[in-house]
Chain A
């Protein structure tokens, strides 16, 4: 079956530090890969996605590259801000699972950015 492994947090960084959150996956076929962000007390927001190998997703200064050879989709940001404090979920959207999206999520990594 499909699975997503992401680094456990919490991750605590100072403002303007470089962020990496590791994510690896196992899947059959060619899934799409997503990062979601969840702010305290809120639902999931799509942060970025990549639908095929070597694609790079980017949004709000965050980036992640779909690496098929290492089955990875690590999230990076060059300079984090206090407002980036949230929980980040790596997720796998399977390819054509009957035409609908049965998403597999990682455990989530809590990021805390301190001024």
Chain B
């Protein structure tokens, strides 16, 4: 399977704990994105990486959130001191540098439940 891979797929955590999600993009894709989808809503853009550089962050990404892509390959999204409002699905996506008809490729998502 050469698609976008996300781990873990499901995470239940207690309020106040830290959680980290990992995303492995399609191998030749330089661009990597994180989106968040809350129940009953469409996904919302969180952040974008071009190789290892984080080039845009949404206002949705509070100080408790940090995303990295240290070697320009996989990425991690860490949420510190989780709150119940952080419960959502966190989607990772990737795309190549060369435009492929404006298509980006989404992973299966990581579900977070904060109790």
Contacts and interface: CB of A to CB of B under 8 A. Distances in A.
Interface of A: 4, 31-32, 36, 42-46, 49, 51, 89, 91, 93, 95, 98-108
A93 B102 contact: yes
Contacts of B109: 42-44
Contacts of B45: 102-104
A45 to B, nearest CB: 8
Interface string B11-48: 00000000000000000000101010000111111001
Contacts of A101: 31, 33, 93, 95, 102, 104
A103 B43 contact: yes
Given A101-B33, A101-B95, A32 B56 contact: no
B85 interface: no
B101 A49 contact: yes
B103 interface: yes
B104 A103 contact: yes
16 contacts: A31-B102, A36-B106, A43-B91, A44-B106, A45-B106, A49-B101, A93-B103, A98-B56, A100-B31, A100-B55, A101-B93, A102-B56, A103-B35, A103-B45, A105-B42, A108-B42
Interface residues of B, number: 29
Given A32-B101, A98-B55, A107 B41 contact: yes
B50 interface: yes
Given A43-B108, A43-B109, A100-B48, A49 B103 contact: yes
A113 B82 CA distance: 37
A43 B93 CA distance: 10
Contacts of A91: 42
